[in-house]
Structure 1
Amino acid sequence: MTRILLAGDHFVLNEHLKAAILERIGAAPVSFTELTLPWPVVPFGPVAEVDEASDIEQEMMDLIGGAEICVTQMAPITRRVLDRAVDLRLVCVTRGGPINVNLEAAQARGISVMSAPGRNAIATAEHTIALALSALRRIPQIHNSVVAGEWRSDLYSYSEVAFELHGAPVGIVGYGAVGRHVAWIFNGFGAHVRVFDPFAPSVDGFAERVETLDALLAGSRIVSLHARLTPETRNMIGAAQLAVIPDGGILVNAARGGLVDMNAVASALVTGKLMGAAFDVFDTEPLPPEAKIRQAPNVTLSPHLAGATQETARRAASIAADQVSAYLKGRTIAAAV
């Protein structure tokens, strides 16, 4: 009998995880222990040495003993948790990257760690386009103006109106699952899509590859970020890079907040260097009340919701179930970290 610990939450539900696993494993003998994490009702944060996790380390320590498989999205798989996990052999993290797992400690114990890359690619790409259009057409500001009783027909002035996506040069930084889908959608609008990603093996026919970040920024009226956050990419967009973007450009970030110097963006919005900006992610979450970007003009902000669709949650459960099934049947598991 293989014991599986399901540590779902209020987005990736335990009931979906369990149903997807049972559908795939057939008659394999398993037993489930379930723990429902408080996310997203309670925001995630750093827990011990891992990040972006629910603060339930003690609960995990109490339940992990005897489990051979753990499936979770936000549980903190810390060194202390792993010290209790004497039978653990597989951790399936139902998100793009296992930032909530101490990978070094897991590797030292011979525990395989899986993730679910691409689970939210479509949702994040669609939200990215919504952010870009909101910034381009100033939809939040115009909405608030109408609600307040105004009727700003003066915004029809040539000096106030925006440019069209059709024919506009759009720069994509990072060409993974999300960046690729964003490029495809922008291409559908008739935009001229350009891509910077030194690690992407190829670029599709609807996008043009650019060899340097500065070359991409210099030729883009809209820049959309889809890179992972690493020591090399932290603050990859700062004052110097913003200066390269043509005046009146737009910056969109639905990847990771640490990619951008937000104070530099706020200043660029105030001076008019940027016409608009839109962000779903921030270096500190929740966004602090004193953050300068809150007071910047022509900015659209959402609270890290780009990947939040029902399809994302069910797709995550499906990917994890495939990994559990492969493990139980002795097959090679895809998406090993």
Structure 2
Amino acid sequence: MRTPGVRSTRRAERYGAAQKLTSSLAATPGPLPVIMWFHGGGQVLGFAAQDAPWLKQLAAALGCAVAAVDYRLAPETPAPGAAEDGYTAYRWISDNATDLGLDPTRVGLAGQSGGGGIAATTALVIRDRGAATPLFQMLMYPMLDDRNTTDSSREFTDIGIWDRSTNLLAWQAVLGDRAGTEDVTPYCAASRATELDGLPPTFIGVGELDVFRDESLDYAALPRAHGVPVELHLYPGAYHAFDLFAPQSHLAESFRHTWNNYLARHLTKAPATATASFLVIGLAVLGYGVHEAVLLYRLRRHGIRARGLVARYESSSGTRGSGRSTSLAFGCLFASLALWELVRR
């Protein structure tokens, strides 16, 4: 376990941070409910503290604690490594909740994009290992299916955000030669699950113009058929991560209002307080936070071929997205993540 800005790889170091976190929670009215947060980044980039500013505001507004899981990234750690990290963090929070001033019966999972996929696989591991069912799983435009066979997975290409080619590359990093084959378990890609009974209440939000649209819609149908409460929201005209690229838009505000209400309905009995806490659960050294070119370099270091995508990216010379502002924003976001993680190393 670790506090923001401190890296830790040894189990004793991670868990030894409990005393410091306990002291930071001591002044809060409790026990507090917990949101376990899985950051976005296609399961290949990013870090837990990247969302700290708005997660701290969320914790204060909802009167809860937010534990951001620093799960290991691909290709250095292929799936199901990230789901195992999620399960370890969930069990650690449950086992140490009393000492931290948290309520072990009110721990929910939430994630965005690649992190939404990790939240979903973590929920499956939790169920299958007989641990207590999480309070909910909130999946924001989640990355669920490595097969890339849906209509939306083929529809959105060369748009400068997260499209088919980027998604194929990421899954190649996550699964290697297993991607798209029968050798992929539900703990690696949640859409591979066929039995979805016993899962927590589920929230899924996705845009109409998102490469993940159809796999999100398909995934929502299965748990509902098994009696799991599902709340599904499809946003017309919205592309992947629209709430990050256009946060002031009416559509983004509507999305935030919807999932905030969902969380408030489930995180009951905890009074709002400005002293609610943000934690970082660190489970491993992060890989570099990088955009496609550096990801390709990492793949090569691990002897992984990118199935013909290398030539595509090497020949593009930065022309992807045709200068669209969203493409520029996406590139700046990844560049910022890369710089931050390189500094942290």
TM range (shorter): under 0.3
Higher-Rg member (1/2): 1
Query: Which structure shows the higher helix fraction?
Result: 2
Query: Which structure shows the higher strand fraction?
Result: 1
| TM-score under structure 1 length normalisation | 0.27
Q: Larger RCO: Structure 1 or Structure 2 (Cα < 8 Å, ≥ 6 residues apart)?
A: 2
